[in-house]
């Protein structure tokens, strides 16, 4: 199975860190932020459940810009064969 070697950018990692530190962040934002931070600084592959969650967030027209930023980063680091 091919592995994705992409990493979270420093800008998105910063958004993720601020999201995790925010008392008003939603559960989905915290989940995506945690995944994005895990993938910063080293290659890591998004799991299937997180990939699905991120994909649904990108499809949601009501999702915030922060949610879509985090979701886009997480999805881009998923297994390309899924």
Q: What is the pLDDT of residues 20-73, one digit of tens each?
A: 999 999 999 999 999 999 988 877 888 889 999 999 999 999 999 999 999 999
Question: Is residue 80 very low, low, confident or very high in pLDDT (cuts 50, 70, 90)?
Answer: low
Tell me the C-alpha distance between 62 and 7, whole Å: 27
Average pLDDT, the chain: 90
* Cβ count within 10 A of residue 73: 26
Q: Does residue 22 contact residue 42 with C-beta atoms inside 8 Å? A: no
Gyration radius of the chain's alpha carbons: 12
Nearest one of 26, 80, 22, 78 to 54, comparing CA atoms: 78
Specify which residues 8 forms β-bridges with.
Answer: 40
- Report the pLDDT value the prediction gives residue 81, as an integer from 0 to 100: 64
Residues in the chain: 82
Model's pTM, two decimal places?
0.86
For 37-50, what is each residue's pLDDT tens digit?
Answer: 998 887 788 888 99
């Amino acid at each position: 199975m091919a592995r994705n070697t992409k990493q979270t950018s420093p800008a998105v990692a910063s958004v993720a860190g601020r999201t995790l530190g925010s008392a008003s962040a939603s559960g989905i934002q915290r989940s995506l932020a945690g995944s994005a931070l895990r993938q910063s600084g080293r290659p890591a592959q998004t799991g299937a459940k997180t990939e699905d969650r991120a994909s649904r967030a990108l499809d949601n027209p009501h999702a915030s810009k922060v949610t879509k930023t985090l979701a886009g980063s997480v999805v881009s680091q998923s297994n390309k064969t899924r």
